């Protein structure tokens, strides 16, 4: 079979991106505090980005003869992004920190995908992974700056 490791990463990303979309939507709903309006609108942008990546990843998986996970149960079971109950008492910074964790989880999976696609000679999927990883790294930098932290650490 062709591109087996790449297919595994694509499927993992299908689950992770689906969970990420739900988590960002939850953050969008449960935000309260200073700069609410700006963050509320920003969550729409982030969710749209994740949804676009999800569609591209799942369609690429189908193109290379894979079968994407497609149920809520599969997403929750397979995802590296865990569900957490929505809470009204979270500060905006807590929501942003969760968002950074979500983006970092996706960046790590895209990194695995870049290696797998490169090893298996799938340049098209490798390009998809590289572009998506770059977009999410930018989001991490922006959120970390908002939190008063360096892009790649918590200090």
Measured between alpha carbons, how far is residue 135 from residues 25, 37, 88, 91, 141 in Å? 19, 23, 29, 25, 10
Round to whole Å and give the CA distance between 52 and 36: 24
If we measure between CA atoms, which residue out of 22, 16, 26, 27 comes closest to residue 74? 16
pLDDT tens digits for 33-76?
A: 989 999 999 999 999 999 999 999 999 999 999 999 999 999 99
Say which DSSP state 65 is in.
T
Which parts of the chain have pLDDT scores under 50?
none
Domains and CATH numbers, the chain: 4-147 (1.20.1260.10)
């Amino acid at each position: 079979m062709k591109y087996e490791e790449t297919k595994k990463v694509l499927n993992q990303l299908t689950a992770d991106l689906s969970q990420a979309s739900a988590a960002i939507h939850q953050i969008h709903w449960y935000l309260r505090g200073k700069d609410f309006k700006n963050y509320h609108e920003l969550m729409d942008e982030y969710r749209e980005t994740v949804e676009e990546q999800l569609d591209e990843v799942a369609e690429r998986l189908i193109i290379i003869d894979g079968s994407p996970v497609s149920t809520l149960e599969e997403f929750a079971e397979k995802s590296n992004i865990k569900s957490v109950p929505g809470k009204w008492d979270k500060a905006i910074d807590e929501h942003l920190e969760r968002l950074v964790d979500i983006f970092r989880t996706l960046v790590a999976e895209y990194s695995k995908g870049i290696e797998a696609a490169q090893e298996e000679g799938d340049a098209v999927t490798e390009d998809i992974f590289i572009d998506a990883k770059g977009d999410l790294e930018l989001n991490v930098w922006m959120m970390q700056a908002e939190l008063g932290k360096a892009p790649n650490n918590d200090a």
